């Protein structure tokens, strides 16, 4: 170090910080772009650059045939073949009834 030790640092905080107990729950909401690879009534496979952990929960927003969807999902598996490719298997944990019916209709029409 350049002659500085921890006592030479000027405090810039406007108010003191306090430590929290280990059992306090906190979440950080992130947005990232994903590519929808495939979809079923129970979940979807997406490609992303962000390595989310198994069990992570979030909201997947997408459009199919002009209809918008925003189900709550949970990451169940991760796989990737190339260094920057990361495929995430996500299960739908909640979806409104109207969206579910539209998705059922989309899947019925898309399946040969």
Fold classification of 6-110 is Thrombin, subunit H (2.40.10)
Say if residue 100 is exposed, middle or buried (CB neighbours under 10 Å; 0-12, 13-18, 19+).
middle
What is the SS3 string spanning the chain? CCCCCHHHCCCCCCCCCCCCCCCCCCCCCCCCCCEEEEECCCEEEEEECCCCCCCCEEECCEEECCEEECCEEEEEEEECCCCCCEEEEEEEEECCHHHHHHHHHHHHHHCC
The 10s digit of each residue's pLDDT in 80-112 is 766 556 899 999 999 999 999 999 999 999 987
Percent of the chain with pLDDT over 90: 55
- The pTM score is 0.72
């Amino acid at each position: 170090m350049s002659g500085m030790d921890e006592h030479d640092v000027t405090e810039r905080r406007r108010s003191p910080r306090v430590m929290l107990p280990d059992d306090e729950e906190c979440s950080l909401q992130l947005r990232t772009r994903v590519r929808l690879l495939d979809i079923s009534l129970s979940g979807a496979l997406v490609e992303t650059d962000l390595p989310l952990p198994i069990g992570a929960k979030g909201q997947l927003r997408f459009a199919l045939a002009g209809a918008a969807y925003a189900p709550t999902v949970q990451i169940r598996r991760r796989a990737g073949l190339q260094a920057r490719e990361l495929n995430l298997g996500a299960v739908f944990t909640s979806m409104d009834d109207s969206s579910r019916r539209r998705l059922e209709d989309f899947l019925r029409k898309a399946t040969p």
